[in-house]
Chain A
Amino acid sequence: MSYTSDEMMTVTAARTLRNGMTCFVGIGLPSEAANLARRTHAPGLVLIYESGTIGAKPSALPLSIGDGILAETADCVVSVPEIFNYWLQPGRIDVGFLGAAQVDRFGNINTTAIGGDYGAPRVRLPGAGGAPEIAAACREVTIVLRQSPRSFVGRVDFVTSVGFGDGPGSRERLGLTGHGPRRVITDLGVLEPDPRTCELVLTGVYPGVTVPQVREGTGWDLRVSAGLATVPPPTDAELAALRELRAAGQHHPRSATAGSSQMTGAIR
């Protein structure tokens, strides 16, 4: 079955989630991947959204973090102060799944403003949402975004959420309790932090994608892992499940998402 680079990205992100894990889900691309995992190899994956829905089991892709289908299918729904203070902050959650507008070589995330200065930016983005504390407190973090030199920069214009800060030792100095970004999954391949330098290096490429192509899509001098692997293409079963999930998101009669096909993962 032929597939798009976006489908490859979502499938690759979904594969990193294991059955029984708890996952704090950002909306857009991360949510699509997390829902795909729950629909395929990880039916016991616990999806947690910042709207306070814990253990949501949506049959269709939610369009927002506060869709009715999340509340109706959740194990429990708690208030917003509670989801952050009792559930996220103490480090109970295995993995945070986040999108980004910009990510830098140390895995720091910008979803606030690009260009100019903070008071008069060239592009004003939505802002932090739940991401800073998700990035700080989950045991590990996976970042999902499309790759380009504009989105992969040496240093983000604004640190909305901390990855590895300025490099080794930053997270410890800041008292951040989680381990930080474990991987960045793009539409070209997979980047992972070097355990010694904390710098993101290329560890996986998709079939048909070349290393120079990924380097061109990166705004710093991207290093390539000695163990660079080619990520296996999506299986027919993975693709079928993903397409079914997307179709359900557009047509599910009970879902408040019915009627729209617009996905704007890039802004979150």
Chain B
Amino acid sequence: MAEIVSLAEAVAAAIGDGDTVAMEGFTHLIPHAAGHEVIRQGLRDLTLVRMTPDIIYDQLIGAGCARKLVFSWAGNPGVGSLHRFRDAVEHGWPVPLEIEEHSHAGMANRYAAGAAGLPFAVMRGYRGTSLASQTAGVAEVTCPFTGEVLTAVSALRPDVAVIHAQRADRAGNVQFWGITGVQKEAVLASARSVVTVEEIVDELDPRPNAVVLPSWVVGWVALAPGGAHPSYALGYSARDNDF
């Protein structure tokens, strides 16, 4: 059962130095408040995983929390590039950052394999690209039934998933809707999880397209209204592109 605690308590309980941490969200529902708490607690040597690292990952890199970044598209969608990320990769400043780079489809499949308890996922992808030779965890695999050569990508199994959701109930069941990204897979693939929410309600009435994560697959729930800012939470806040 999920424990409902403060954000500081959730981060302290779930994340330690050197952990592999996936703070997921796809433009929508980015867990910014939780990222700031990680910086505040001075965590170090993290391997940060995220399909679309944006300004919060840039801040984590700039604050020296990260040793390695696993990702598929690094930028602030529509509003510019990541300066600390680029400094770290182009100039090794302030410290070198190891990178492991994939395509979106590759990352999505890696999370799905982790969630499914499989060592790898099978997909069509990477063939002919330079990514295939630069990135660990990508290999050719032959279909045992047809002989077709496909691509295998290794499963992602982070120590901790961190996501932001619209709401939870008092038992710690979590509900989010709109663009739901890869957050369900990230939580199910990870050993532990922290979910920040806009509000905690008595009852989760149904919403179109909602993902519900039952309390028993969630580690810690923390109330963090506006915790996605400057990204947005559909139904609660708009994206702050001027940020």
- A residues with a Cβ closer than 8 A to B are 27-28, 50-53, 62-68, 70-72, 76-77, 79-81, 84-85, 88-89, 112, 118, 120-124, 126-133, 136-137, 158-162, 165, 170-171, 174-177, 255-260, 262-264, 267-268
The 8 closest A-B pairs by CB, nearest first: A66-B27, A64-B77, A256-B239, A63-B78, A129-B73, A260-B241, A126-B75, A84-B105
Check if B86 sits within 8 Å of A124, measured CB to CB. yes
- Pick from B26, B75, B131: contact of A80, CB under 8 Å: B26
Check if B74 sits within 8 Å of A79, measured CB to CB. no
**Any A CB within 8 A of the CB of B81:** yes
- Neighbouring A residues of B73 by C-beta, 8 Å: 126-130
- Neighbouring A residues of B232 by C-beta, 8 Å: 68, 256
Check if A27 sits within 8 Å of B181, measured CB to CB. no
Q: How far is the CA of A255 from the CA of B239 in the complex (A)?
A: 9
Check if A160 sits within 8 Å of B129, measured CB to CB. yes
- Pick from A79, A123, A128, A158: contact of B102, CB under 8 Å: A128
**Any A CB within 8 A of the CB of B89:** yes
Check if A80 sits within 8 Å of B241, measured CB to CB. no
Most buried by A among B101, B103, B148: B103
List 28 A–B pairs whose Cβ atoms lie within 8 Å, in order of A's numbering. A27-B78, A28-B78, A51-B181, A52-B181, A64-B77, A66-B27, A68-B179, A80-B51, A81-B182, A84-B104, A89-B124, A120-B89, A120-B90, A123-B90, A124-B85, A128-B101, A128-B103, A128-B129, A128-B131, A129-B73, A130-B104, A133-B125, A160-B129, A160-B130, A256-B232, A257-B78, A260-B78, A262-B79
Q: How far is the CA of A222 from the CA of B40 in the complex (A)?
A: 55
Check if A260 sits within 8 Å of B79, measured CB to CB. yes
By secondary structure, the B interface counts as loop
Interface residues contributed by chain B, number (CB under 8 Å): 57
Q: How far is the CA of A112 from the CA of B129 in the complex (A)?
A: 11
Besides the known contacts A72-B234, A176-B127, A260-B79, 14 further A-B residue pairs in the complex with CB atoms under 8 A apart: A63-B77, A65-B27, A66-B28, A81-B185, A89-B105, A89-B124, A120-B90, A126-B81, A128-B101, A132-B105, A159-B130, A160-B129, A160-B131, A262-B78
- B residues with a Cβ closer than 8 A to A are 26-28, 51-52, 71-75, 77-81, 85-86, 89-90, 92, 101-105, 108-109, 111-112, 123-131, 134, 148-149, 178-182, 184-185, 209, 211, 232, 234, 238-242
